[in-house]
Structure 1
Amino acid sequence: MAIYEFNGATPKVHATAFVHPLACLIGQVSIGAHCYIAPFATLRGDFGSIEVGEGSNIQESCTLHAKHGEGCHLGRNSHVGHGAIVHGALLERDCLIGMNAVVMDGALIGAESIVAASCFVRNGFVVPPRSLVTGLPGAVVRALTDAEVQKKLAATLRYQELAGDCHRSLRLAG
């Protein structure tokens, strides 16, 4: 994996987390226990800090970044779908950011919320807990059901299992 020290800050990865060799971590990055970081994910802690909470997953081609002196924080069991960008936002626990969604600086995504695929969440937008956000720009369209929250958690738990499976069995072929 590409892990780079920057201005004296070295990424910290919990021993139970899996960071794919084709992912890139730079500077002020912290990855919690049982996280899964997929190929081509880029977590750039060069200007601000990046914190990925325990049990979270960052899928292929995602970008996490923050402005100078600010941070990008993903709470426990965050789930960031393929190609999504999270820039200087705060995700509370158990959130899902859909594929190719963009969540901008200062946005707050409340616990157990889902941001739909290809949604654009503007700067400073606050999403209440257990909400579904869709559209361009993103808007809260309704509250999530217990079943939807449980389905999201089940998917996140599968990625936690994947982190362990990768530690045990992922090998470069040939």
Structure 2
Amino acid sequence: MPTILHVNGVYPQFGQDCFIAPNATIVGDVVMGDQCSIWFNAVVRGDVNSIRIGNKVNIQDGAVLHATFQKTKVHIGHNVSIGHNAIVHGCTIHDNVLIGMGAIVMDNAVVNSNTIVAAGAVVLEGTVCEPGSIYAGIPAKKVKEISQELIHGEINRIANNYLQYSGWFKDQV
């Protein structure tokens, strides 16, 4: 069973057709849309501030979502993939975004729609990532604009694959 805990009487809320891995942890003021998946060892901590997650979002193995007490919230749009071991902290991620494996997105950063944050990139506090771009490096910088093909191909492919993967497990948990 996943660990799902309330904080001061506020429980996480889940949309329809979601998959929560048996060892995922979700606590507090978390509201999740439909067709989302929280994978093995992922942690979504809405204890010190709120976390809002749109539809068709996958939070992959070992990823951590958290905020800052009374300062920053986490807002994630629709059709977003957050890669293995990524850290998303007190920031806004718009629709159709891929956060690569091991990437870090810091407080008050904004990742606009149709954007890829490369694996291992560090998006510093307060950074605004332009829509339709790839950001990479430490600190993350725009390395190029991405084509509509890549937006609709890679970003959508990964999000859709995670819908398929979650279907493999839903009847077991």
Correspondence for 1:29: 30
Unmatched segments (≥5 aa) in structure 2: none
Deviation at 1:163, TM superposition (A): 2.6
Correspondence for 2:157: 154
Partner Cα distance (1:55, 1:161) in 2:
11
Deviation at 1:49, TM superposition (A): 0.7
Partner Cα distance (2:12, 2:6) in 1:
7
Select 1:98's aligned residue among 94, 97, 100. 100
- Paired residues, what number? 170
Correspondence for 1:6: 7
Correspondence for 1:134: 136
**What secondary structure, in the 3-state scheme, does the structure 2 residue paired with 1:156 have?**
helix
Deviation at 1:66, TM superposition (A): 0.5
Deviations 1:106-165 (A, max 9, x none): 000010100000000000100111110000000011111122112221111111222333
- Alignment map for 1:1-174 (pairs within 5 Å): 1-69=2-70, 70-150=72-152, 151-168=154-171, 170=172
Deviations 1:49-69 (A, max 9, x none): 111210000000000000113
Unmatched segments (≥5 aa) in structure 1: none
CA contact (8 A) 1:65 1:88 kept: yes
**What secondary structure, in the 3-state scheme, does the structure 2 residue paired with 1:13 have?**
coil
CA contact (8 A) 1:36 1:162 kept: no
CA contact (8 A) 1:119 1:135 kept: yes
**What secondary structure, in the 3-state scheme, does the structure 2 residue paired with 1:25 have?**
strand
| Amino acid aligned to 1:101 | A
Q: Percent of aligned pairs with the same residue?
A: 34
If the length of structure 2 is used for normalisation, what is the TM-score? Answer: 0.94
**What secondary structure, in the 3-state scheme, does the structure 2 residue paired with 1:148 have?**
helix
If the length of structure 1 is used for normalisation, what is the TM-score? Answer: 0.94
CA contact (8 A) 1:56 1:160 kept: no
